Structure 1
């Protein structure tokens, strides 16, 4: 089935990742992203895919993976995270194309506001999010607790 997530943008090509892409996405993030998460492993990405196969967006240029973004929707909130564009491909519209696809996904699902998890010390990312119209929300902080098996 084809929809907004497939063939939407010609260059770069934005699509939902397939099961065959999951390992490549993890490898890509090692070069393109700052920081890691406890769920940055194949099992974690497979669980994401099983739960919501349209949440993991990928950007390709000439067949090469150049960007990724998770656009998660829980039925109420729209969450953007694990956003990365390969350093050699930044400032070429790839991030904008990924964010546009994510925002279109959220609107189609009935979402009303997107939030993004952004590393506090990643100033390059702050500029990209700001340029896309996102602003930090000073009244909130993120609290986390690692869960063990």
Structure 2
């Protein structure tokens, strides 16, 4: 993983990230547009983390913190780069951010039918709370 670089996204990354999500993420949401990502980065410039290998975007995670709860969104790894530890590295970076901010718990929403994603979250130490249908981890 020494050639993997994780950094925070900038406004100039938005179009690349949106294209990446169309290829690598399971579906899109109403906020997956230029204005939505601009609002995210303007409000919290360190929330969107990017994984790159040789300058190519290979993964993303949004590590949001509202002062009370940590939330992980848009954990996505390009299909050509999966099962190489990129999701784990992104989650570790997100958890470091959360810990530095004083966060104590991470919530993640994961599509019910995305078995591959469920495996990735479980492998990273998260457990599923079925009554909320989300994955959580205490920090």
Show structure 1 runs of 5+ residues with no match. 1-8, 143-149
C-alpha distance after superposition, 1:39-85 (max 9, x if no partner): 00000000000000000000000000000000000001000011100
Q: Could you state the TM-score of these two structures normalised by the residue count of structure 1?
A: 0.87
The 8 Å contact of residues 109 and 133 in structure 2, kept in 1 or not, is answered as no
User: C-alpha separation between the residues in 2 aligned to 1:72 and 1:112?
Assistant: 13
1:59 aligned onto 2:56: no
Where 2:131 maps in the other structure, the secondary structure is coil
Residues 68-147 of structure 1 correspond to what in structure 2 (within 5 A)? 68-141=60-133
**Root-mean-square deviation (CA), in Å?**
1.2
User: C-alpha separation between the residues in 1 aligned to 2:41 and 2:98?
Assistant: 17
Cα deviation for residue 11 of structure 1 reads 2.5
Runs of 4+ in 1 over 6 A off after TM superposition: none
Cα deviation for residue 13 of structure 1 reads 0.2
Show structure 2 runs of 5+ residues with no match. 135-139
Cα deviation for residue 141 of structure 1 reads 4.7
User: C-alpha separation between the residues in 2 aligned to 1:128 and 1:139?
Assistant: 20
Indicate the structure with greater strand content: 2
Where 1:111 maps in the other structure, the secondary structure is coil
The 8 Å contact of residues 51 and 58 in structure 2, kept in 1 or not, is answered as yes
C-alpha distance after superposition, 1:78-128 (max 9, x if no partner): 000111000000111111110000000000000001111100000000000
User: C-alpha separation between the residues in 2 aligned to 1:125 and 1:85?
Assistant: 10
- The structure with the largest alpha-carbon Rg is 1
Where 1:136 maps in the other structure, the secondary structure is strand
